[in-house]
Structure 1
Amino acid sequence: MTETSSDDGRSLWRETERVVNEIAQGLRKLDSGVLWFASLSPVRQQEVLREVTGFAMQAHITAADGRAGVARSGVKSTANPAVMICMDPPSYGFAGLPCAEYVAAFRVLVSVFAVADTRRREMYCKGTCGHAWHNLSAATELP
């Protein structure tokens, strides 16, 4: 993936795309991604939540994906982001949550995306995928 200039406003999106897909593919630990996310300003966190919501929507998450993702996220199943993602259909208003819930929302969204994206890679892209984000190099593995 090519990083874009910060002048065009898409460099955060590219970084978000890389971090989220590294987590989804097991090349980066969720906690490492959470540290990256927590280091962002609340405005940037809100932007990232919007982007990751888009990734989750593109992965066509299901309520079952939501439950599996919440279980691996480390977030209580009664927390707002966990309840939202497990609805049928899921609710995607994570960027509208209070900023105190952004980290939990990120954990949930990325974990659920990882479940759904793994299923899609195994079912639809196995061996024939040309999506750059599904073909990250293991050489980029991070803690």
Structure 2
Amino acid sequence: MSKKEEIINKVAQDKLDFNLGIQLLAEDLEYDFEELFMTLKNYIFNAIPEKIYYNTENYQKSINTIPLKPTYTPIVILKHFPTRIAFSKLAKLPQNENIKVITSLLWIFKVIDTERRNTECKNGCGHFWHSLQ
């Protein structure tokens, strides 16, 4: 597991403060928006149980609770477009939106992975990342 993957999973499991996690990801010397975006996208798509539209009640809840202003471009996109289209649009936003995109995606993953750990993985799951220290 890479350093960024460990940070993402520790944030999702409340073993690392969300804001500190964003800071660590953004300040990483090897920071690469496209790589981080793809990692978070894959984590989110894998954590959502409904694999046709990638749209569940929990996913919608995660979007509605992102700790950013609801008028920020990434949030407007996530609320108004189907999941796959929204992610395609997020990847093409200007660079000055990158931190908002990463913040939004990390929050979404945190919420949906918490739900997965509390339901699907409640009695053990074998996901090695769910046993981070």
Normalising TM by the smaller chain, what interval?
A: 0.7 to 0.9
Does the 8 Å contact 1:19/1:28 carry over to 2?
A: yes
Where does structure 2 lack aligned partners over 5 or more consecutive residues?
Answer: 49-53
Does the 8 Å contact 2:43/2:109 carry over to 1?
A: yes
Q: 1:100 aligns with which of 96, 102, 109?
A: 96
CA offsets, 1:66-95, max 9 Å, x none? 443345432111212112323463221233
Distance 1:18 1:87, change over 3 A: farther
The count of corresponding residues between Structure 1 and Structure 2 is: 125
Tell whether 2:58 aligns with 1:62.
no
- In structure 2, the partner of 1:74 is 67
Distance 1:124 1:88, change over 3 A: farther
Where does structure 1 lack aligned partners over 5 or more consecutive residues?
Answer: 2-13, 138-143
Instruction: Name the TM-score, length of structure 2 as normaliser.
Output: 0.80
Does the 8 Å contact 1:63/1:87 carry over to 2?
A: no
Tell whether 2:22 aligns with 1:34.
yes
Deviation at 1:123, TM superposition (A): 1.1
- In structure 1, the partner of 2:118 is 122
Percent sequence identity is 26
Distance in 2 (CA, whole Å) between partners of 1:43 and 1:121 is 28
Does the 8 Å contact 2:25/2:31 carry over to 1?
A: no
CA offsets, 1:36-73, max 9 Å, x none? 22214797122101111111111115364444334543
- In structure 1, the partner of 2:127 is 131
Q: Which amino acid aligns with 1:44?
A: D
Two-structure CA RMSD over aligned residues (Å): 2.3
CA offsets, 1:5-60, max 9 Å, x none? xxxxxxxxx22211111111001111111112221479712210111111111111
Does the 8 Å contact 1:37/1:45 carry over to 2?
A: no
Does the 8 Å contact 2:7/2:21 carry over to 1?
A: yes
Instruction: Name the TM-score, length of structure 1 as normaliser.
Output: 0.75
